[in-house]
């Protein structure tokens, strides 16, 4: 294929791009693929999760600007381009019963209207492949679920000249994937590897919760080898300083264990307009040779 390959990763908040598929993106950037991260919201309602920064009045008052600067640093580390869709973070409702979502937030937008912004970016960037979240959002944050909804609409609409006629020249992406990096087989493999080495595993509670909820495993179709870029992934994640505790569970598994036991990032092929066979090891399988 002589035309440049282009990958678009659609995420809900700044930091999601660094925790879901970041090593994959860095790998493709190193191969000359043009990668664009689309961030739907500014993360304005995100909690400060790094204990070292909690209680900082400047950060609390300027969280939107702080998270934008963190995103800029992570973007440079990964070598990707990035665009904001400009929606307002919905926050994660907590309590029983759950409180209503804030007026005007992303999750309360009309799906078809909100999708137009993404259609514009798809038509201007012209990706062959798009990644996003499954119908559960990966986890049930309202912004993640809304990100799934608008991406599904935009994937189908971007190539249809009758839909969103003022949003640019039609362009049809060829493949759509769901990020599935937080899957049970990977978690179990790393958990057992830590115990075998006499180390404390950070995944014991995760596995218990999976058993309690008894949710069926997702179908993993695509395993992208990207262990050489795990350090880049972690560096980008740490750049989101308000969201990530550098001493937290994200980094408890030694790098050499990760690379040996599970050297890939995983995806679920949701839509394909080209012929391919699974399992795949490349998001552009079926596209490179056509």
Tell me the binding residues for Zn(2+).
13, 16, 144
Give the residue numbers of the binding site: 13, 16, 144
CB-neighbour burial class of residue 250 (10 A; exposed 0-12, middle 13-18, buried 19+): middle
In 3D, which of 36, 12, 18 has the Cα closest to residue 88? 12
CA distance 197 to 193: 6
Contact between 197 and 257 under an 8 Å Cβ cutoff? The reply is: yes
Show Cβ contacts of residue 209 under 8 Å, excluding neighbours closer than 6 positions: none
Residue with tokens 């190539």: 159
Number of Cβ within a 10 Å radius of residue 189: 15
Looking at residue 95, what DSSP letter applies? S
């Amino acid at each position: 294929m002589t035309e440049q390959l282009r990958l678009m990763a659609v995420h809900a908040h700044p930091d999601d791009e660094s925790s879901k598929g970041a090593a994959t993106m860095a790998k493709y950037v190193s191969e000359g693929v043009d990668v664009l991260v689309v961030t739907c919201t500014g993360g304005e309602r995100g909690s400060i999760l790094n204990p070292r920064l909690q209680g900082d009045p400047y950060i609390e008052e300027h969280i939107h600007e702080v998270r934008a600067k963190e995103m800029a640093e992570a973007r440079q580390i990964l070598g990707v381009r990035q665009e904001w869709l400009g929606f307002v973070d919905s926050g994660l409702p907590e309590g029983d019963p759950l409180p209503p979502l804030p007026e005007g937030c992303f999750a309360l937008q009309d799906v078809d209207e909100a999708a137009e912004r993404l259609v514009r970016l798809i038509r201007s960037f012209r990706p062959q492949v798009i990644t996003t979240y499954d119908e559960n959002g990966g986890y049930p944050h309202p912004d993640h679920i809304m990100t799934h909804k608008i991406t599904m609409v935009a994937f189908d609409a971007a190539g249809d000249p009758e839909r969103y006629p003022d949003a640019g020249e039609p362009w049809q992406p060829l493949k759509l994937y769901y990020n599935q990096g937080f899957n049970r087989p990977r978690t179990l493999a790393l958990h057992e590897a830590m115990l075998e080495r006499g180390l404390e595993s950070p995944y014991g509670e995760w596995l218990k919760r999976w058993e309690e909820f008894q949710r069926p495993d997702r179908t993993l179709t695509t395993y992208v080898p990207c262990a050489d870029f795990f350090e880049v992934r972690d560096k980008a994640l740490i750049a989101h300083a308000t969201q990530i505790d550098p001493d937290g569970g994200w980094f408890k598994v030694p790098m050499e264990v990760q690379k040996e036991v599970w050297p890939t990032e995983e995806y679920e092929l949701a839509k394909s307009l080209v012929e391919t066979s699974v399992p795949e090891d490349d998001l552009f399988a079926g596209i490179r040779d056509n």
